[in-house]
């Protein structure tokens, strides 16, 4: 029970109760007295809850307190549902009023209905009042017990204020240093030497072309981090193919092979049967020298697991001599099992704990933002050395405790961490638990929610923040007009800063993971409320009524048939990929679990029950490629809904009429993600902040002018702008008036027609100058928009991506943009260079803030700039990553970017690259398919 569950709901209940009573014909004396008592007890309740939520050990040792807290929570949540229902009625009434659908023939009916309501109020039988009375009475009864626990309250209020301050201090600090491979240099050298060496085994077995090395160690010892550094090493480019597969504890043969294919093809396979998957993988690796990393294997040497691994590994036998497999596991029995499957010598590298000095160095990297901060706090070093003695050499523990320490650089806080009961030697779990205990209370719920997802789940930052908002976990500050989304992103960034999330990035997206030990720890401390059922067998829980958040990934339909025992669920995530329909089971779930705020369904359903309309409290609804048929009309009555994601799987149905026309009733929507062809009269959703996307059609209700009054938009994706009937109509979108719009994507269709008409449409889609992120894809014009050539109109841009603009010839003067950090130019075969105009005596910083530059398939590009660029003062002064690919005519850079950290060159026609002489020894360089290139080698 967190303190902010209580405060806003109780305050709202008290205010609503008095307001509702004031509207009655006759006062409800008993209820008035109960509301007065609640108002009096509110501060006492708050004090006890604050204390209990910060003193877990006290709560555990005091069953009476724990029981009272659950009774209070049940009463608070019941009150919240009633207040939500009252708000729902107001929304419904307002919608009816807005539509002006009252007709003359229904006037007498309405008058009679109103008279009946007045009569009921006079007789004290208003059903809404009765419900309100009931929850007030229940909460009053529970609140009376607060006096029993007031003696426990000490300094909870002060601690709460300190933790809130920590949230804002965390926002002001810099980013963490990079994840260097501290203390594992010799281990990396061992693995690299093993990769270079040919197999010394003489074999004629099935896997004679493949070598196997197992990395074994306790959780948190850095097995995955070690192989990440190996995997990205320059030497591994000698392999024809590379695959990184996270196996985790939910091992499934088909999923592992499908992940291998996705790693090779950069797209998800549609194959489903084991035979088809195996044949596809075999054809991909046939006669190819591959490197395969199997990370985080749990399955031991049971006979059934051997059979599974035989099915996974069999297609790899066709690989070329010199192929390598690296695996990580906590259990040596796993290494033995897989070596037996492959009939290989059991080669193992065991990772033990770091030495104290190495562990100290790693901790300090995460406890201090920079060297200057560390030097200013030398007094903390003796305490830090004592803390390190308790960490058992665990790199994960060092990182996480560093995150605990970095919020308060004062000795008293560090001594408090030192003196906390971290546990016995090798008890890394208790060290990680400390990181949870020291979190601000508002973050504990956010992190606990993540524990319902499977281990190694890939979290999308934006979607996770949306879920937190839907569940009421986010409380924006009163500072600087912070929005709920801004606060949610701040919460997430604090968790990343404290090393509780690890960040990963591939070619397509950025995602985050919880380390499996952290996942286990959070599951342990929050298992009463947050629960998951994963696998084919139903898992039983002692107290299902305490569970508020549930994740289900199963093929066992009985799990869904017994779902009603989780009566007080606030969120339900269903992952069910199986042939047997769960339509009837979902119908009963929707009828029973009416308090749900969040619902996510990943299942190829042939039909969605209309009973989903019972879930009137829903804030978040996500169909992950779930439905083959239109949404049920009852979804249009979910007036509280804030986030709707409907990414249907188009392979099942080409039906264009898949969204009910009344979906624009959902006036509280903040985020909407849709598949083609989009929503009818979407312009009625004036509260919408993020729209992906608007599918333009030349039909009433689907035209570009639907955007005219949607002035709250922050993010917008427009598909098929070529369908604008008249280029002048694009002005009706009034993008230039949308001051909140910071992220705009314009996605043309796949038509090959090149026409000046498209240029005129783009001219008239001029955004406000506050825009920070711009994407344009498949544009059919030969020039950029007029507004793109006026630097003042796009001066706030930080990110630009232009892709498949096949007729575009000259790039706008992006080099002048003061805040531009990322520029991606892909598949623009006619572009000659950047438009560069200056006076002879000018001294200009070219791309003054650019950090990332990708140029891909600009085959006509020769000079970097159309005019001579002799006047620049500094070229790319902030550039850290430069990727150039398939630009055979591009001349080399005139000078070396001073901060370059990563350089990738592929199929560039350079012959000399003398500017590389000035490059840092720490820069990661990859040069491929440049046969004529001579450049100074580093030693």
Confidence of residue 652 (pLDDT cuts 50, 70, 90): very low
208 three-state secondary structure: coil
Contact residues for 933 (Cβ-Cβ < 8 A; gap 6+): 905, 908, 910, 911, 912, 913, 927
Query: Could you identify the residue written with the tokens 């000399």?
Result: 912
Q: Which two tokens stand for residue 840?
A: 């002879």
Contact 880, 899 (CB under 8 A): yes
Tens digit of pLDDT for each residue in 145-183?
888 888 777 544 444 445 544 554 443 333 333 456 888
| C-alpha span between 629 and 658 (Å, rounded) | 6
Contact 344, 372 (CB under 8 A): no
pLDDT of the residue at 177: 35
In this structure, the dihedral spanned by the alpha carbons of residues 400, 405, 408 and 411, taken in order and rounded to 10 degrees, is 170
Tens digit of pLDDT for each residue in 474-498?
988 777 678 899 999 999 999 998 8
Mean pLDDT of the chain: 83
Q: Compute the average pLDDT of residues 468-478.
A: 89
Comparison of pLDDT for 702 and 892, the residue scoring more = 702
pLDDT of the residue at 845: 74
pTM attached to this predicted model: 0.83
pLDDT of the residue at 24: 57
Per DSSP, what are the bridge partners of residue 746? 718, 776
Contacts 24+ apart (CB under 8 A), 407-414: 407/166, 407/169, 407/170, 407/438, 407/498, 408/166, 409/368, 409/373, 409/377, 409/380, 411/379, 411/380, 411/383, 414/380, 414/383, 414/384, 414/387
pLDDT of the residue at 407: 77
Pick from 279, 290, 299, 178: nearest CA to 242: 290
Comparison of pLDDT for 423 and 743, the residue scoring more = 743
Q: Which two tokens stand for residue 417?
A: 């961490």
Tens digit of pLDDT for each residue in 228-252?
999 988 788 889 999 999 888 778 8
| C-alpha span between 219 and 651 (Å, rounded) | 41
Tens digit of pLDDT for each residue in 494-533?
999 888 998 887 766 889 999 888 998 999 888 889 999 9
| C-alpha span between 72 and 65 (Å, rounded) | 10
| C-alpha span between 339 and 343 (Å, rounded) | 6
pLDDT of the residue at 48: 81
pLDDT of the residue at 134: 86
Tens digit of pLDDT for each residue in 39-91?
888 888 888 887 776 666 556 667 888 888 888 888 888 888 988 888 898 88
Helix, strand, coil abundance in the chain, percent, nearest 5: 45, 15, 40
**CA geometry: angle at 466 spanning 696 and 519, to 5°?**
135
Given its phi and psi angles, is residue 426 left (phi above 0), alpha (psi -120 to 50 degrees) or beta?
left
Lowest mean pLDDT among 607-616, 814-823, 920-929: 920-929
Confidence of residue 106 (pLDDT cuts 50, 70, 90): very low
Comparison of pLDDT for 899 and 675, the residue scoring more = 899
| C-alpha span between 725 and 374 (Å, rounded) | 63
pLDDT of the residue at 868: 53
First-last CA distance in the chain = 59
Q: Compute the average pLDDT of residues 821-832.
A: 93
pLDDT of the residue at 199: 66
pLDDT of the residue at 31: 73
145 three-state secondary structure: helix
Confidence of residue 219 (pLDDT cuts 50, 70, 90): confident
Report the percent of the chain where pLDDT is more than 90.
37
pLDDT of the residue at 578: 78
Pick from 532, 526, 579, 524: nearest CA to 553: 532
In this structure, the dihedral spanned by the alpha carbons of residues 861, 863, 868 and 870, taken in order and rounded to 10 degrees, is 140
HSE-CB at 817 with a 13 A cutoff on CA atoms is: 28
Q: What kind and span of H or E run contains 428? A: helix 428-437
Confidence of residue 108 (pLDDT cuts 50, 70, 90): very low
Q: How many residues does the chain have?
A: 939
| C-alpha span between 859 and 871 (Å, rounded) | 26
Q: Compute the average pLDDT of residues 562-568.
A: 88
Query: Which DSSP string do the residues of 766-817 spell out, in sequence order?
Result: PPPTT--EEEEES---SS--GGGG-GGGGTT--EEEEE--TT--EE--GGG-
pLDDT of the residue at 102: 43
| C-alpha span between 401 and 406 (Å, rounded) | 9
Tens digit of pLDDT for each residue in 621-646?
998 766 566 788 999 999 999 999 98
Residue 444 is given by DSSP the state H
Lowest mean pLDDT among 155-159, 184-188, 619-623, 768-772: 155-159
Helices (H) and strands (E) in the chain, counts: 26, 28
The yes-or-no verdict on residue 537 having pLDDT over 60 is: yes
Q: Compute the average pLDDT of residues 98-111.
A: 48
pLDDT of the residue at 25: 45
The yes-or-no verdict on residue 127 having pLDDT over 90 is: no
The yes-or-no verdict on residue 290 having pLDDT over 90 is: yes
873 three-state secondary structure: strand
Considering 18-27, 56-65, 127-136, the range whose residues carry the highest mean pLDDT is 127-136
| C-alpha span between 591 and 604 (Å, rounded) | 21
Backbone angles phi, psi at 403, to 5 degrees: -70, -30
């Amino acid at each position: 029970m967190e303190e902010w569950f209580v405060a806003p709901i109780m305050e709202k209940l008290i205010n609503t109760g008095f307001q509702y009573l004031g509207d009655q014909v006759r006062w409800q004396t008993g209820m008035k007295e109960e509301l007065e008592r609640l108002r009096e007890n509110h501060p006492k309740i708050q004090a006890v809850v604050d204390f209990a939520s910060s003193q877990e050990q006290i709560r555990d040792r005091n069953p009476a307190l724990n029981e009272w807290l659950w009774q209070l929570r049940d009463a608070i949540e019941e009150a919240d549902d009633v207040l939500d229902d009252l708000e729902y009625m107001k929304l419904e009434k307002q919608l009816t009023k807005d539509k002006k659908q009252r007709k003359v023939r229904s006037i007498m009916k309405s008058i009679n209905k109103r008279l009946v309501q007045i009569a009921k109020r006079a007789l004290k039988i208003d059903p809404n009042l009765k419900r309100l009375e009931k929850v007030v009475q229940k909460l009053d009864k529970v609140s009376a017990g607060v006096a029993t626990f007031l003696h426990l309250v000490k300094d909870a209020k002060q601690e709460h204020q300190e933790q809130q301050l920590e949230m804002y201090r965390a926002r002001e600090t810099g980013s963490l240093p990079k994840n260097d491979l501290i203390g594992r240099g010799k281990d990396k050298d061992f693995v690299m030497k093993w990769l270079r060496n040919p197999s010394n085994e003489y074999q004629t077995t099935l896997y004679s072309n493949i070598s196997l090395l197992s990395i074994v160690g306790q959780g948190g010892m850095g097995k995955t981090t070690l192989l990440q550094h190996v995997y990205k090493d320059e030497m591994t480019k000698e392999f024809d193919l590379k695959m990184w597969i996270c196996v985790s504890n939910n091992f499934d043969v088909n999923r592992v092979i499908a992940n291998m294919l996705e790693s090779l093809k950069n797209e998800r396979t549609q194959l489903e049967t084991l035979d088809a998957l195996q044949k596809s993988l075999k054809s991909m690796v046939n006669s190819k020298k591959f490197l395969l990393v199997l990370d985080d294997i749990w399955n031991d040497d049971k006979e059934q697991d051997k059979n599974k691994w035989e099915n996974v590994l069999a297609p790899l036998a066709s690989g070329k001599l010199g192929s390598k497999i690296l695996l990580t596991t906590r259990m040596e029995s796993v290494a033995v099992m897989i070596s037996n499957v492959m009939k290989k010598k059991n080669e193992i590298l065991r990772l033990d704990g770091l030495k104290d000095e190495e562990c100290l160095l790693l901790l300090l990297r995460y406890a201090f933002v920079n060297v200057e901060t560390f030097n200013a706090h030398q007094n903390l070093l003796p305490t830090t050395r004592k803390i390190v003695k308790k960490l058992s050499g665990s790199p994960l523990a060092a990182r996480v405790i560093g995150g605990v320490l970095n919020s308060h650089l004062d000795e008293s806080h560090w001594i408090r961490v030192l003196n906390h009961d971290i546990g016995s030697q090798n008890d890394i779990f208790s060290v990680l638990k400390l990181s949870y205990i020291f979190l601000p209370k508002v973050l504990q719920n956010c992190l606990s929610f993540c524990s319902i997802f499977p281990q190694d789940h890939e979290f999308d930052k934006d979607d996770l923040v949306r879920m937190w908002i839907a569940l009421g976990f986010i409380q924006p500050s009163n500072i600087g007009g912070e929005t709920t989304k801004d606060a949610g992103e701040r919460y997430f960034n604090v968790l990343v800063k404290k090393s509780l999330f690890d960040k990963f990035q591939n070619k397509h997206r950025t995602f985050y993971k919880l380390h499996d030990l952290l996942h286990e720890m959070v599951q342990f401390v929050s298992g009463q409320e947050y629960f998951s059922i994963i696998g084919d067998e139903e898992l039983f829980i002692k107290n299902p009524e305490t569970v508020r958040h549930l994740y289900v990934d199963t093929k066992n339909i009985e799990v869904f048939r017994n779902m009603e025992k989780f009566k007080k669920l606030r969120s339900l995530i269903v992952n069910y990929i199986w042939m047997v329909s769960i339509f009837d089971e979902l119908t009963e779930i929707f009828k029973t679990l009416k308090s749900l705020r969040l619902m996510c369904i990943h299942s190829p359903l042939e039909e969605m029950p209309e009973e989903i309309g019972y879930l009137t409290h829903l804030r978040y609804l996500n169909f992950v490629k779930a439905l083959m048929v239109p949404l049920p009309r009852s979804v249009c009555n979910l007036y509280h809904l804030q986030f709707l994601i409907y990414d249907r799987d188009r392979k099942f149905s080409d039906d264009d009429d898949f969204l009910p026309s009344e979906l624009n009733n959902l006036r509280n929507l903040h985020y909407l993600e849709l598949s083609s062809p989009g929503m009818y009269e979407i312009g009625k959703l004036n509260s919408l902040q993020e729209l992906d996307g608007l599918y333009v059609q030349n039909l009433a209700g689907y035209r570009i002018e639907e955007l005219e009054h949607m002035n709250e938009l922050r993010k917008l994706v427009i598909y098929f702008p070529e369908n604008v009937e008249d280029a002048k109509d694009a002005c009706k979108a009034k993008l230039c008036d949308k001051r909140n719009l910071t992220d705009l994507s314009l996605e043309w269709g796949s038509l090959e027609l090149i026409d000046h008409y498209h240029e005129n449409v783009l001219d008239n889609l001029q955004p406000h100058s506050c825009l920070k992120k711009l994407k344009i894809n498949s544009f059919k014009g030969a020039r950029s928009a007029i507004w793109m050539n006026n630097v003042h109109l796009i001066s706030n841009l930080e990110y630009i991506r232009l892709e498949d603009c096949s007729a575009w010839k000259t790039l706008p003067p992006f080099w002048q943009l003061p805040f531009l950090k990322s520029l991606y130019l892909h598949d623009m075969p006619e572009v000659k260079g950047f438009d560069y105009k200056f006076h002879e005596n000018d001294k200009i910083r070219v791309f003054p803030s650019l950090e990332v530059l990708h140029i891909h398939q600009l085959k006509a590009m020769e000079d970097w700039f159309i005019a001579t660029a002799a006047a620049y003062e500094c070229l790319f002064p902030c550039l850290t990553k430069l990727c150039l690919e398939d630009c055979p005519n591009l001349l080399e850079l005139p000078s070396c970017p001073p901060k370059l950290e990563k350089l990738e060159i592929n199929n560039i026609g350079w012959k000399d690259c003398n500017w590389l002489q000035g490059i840092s020894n720490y820069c990661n360089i990859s040069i491929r398919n440049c046969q004529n290139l001579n450049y100074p080698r580093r030693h």
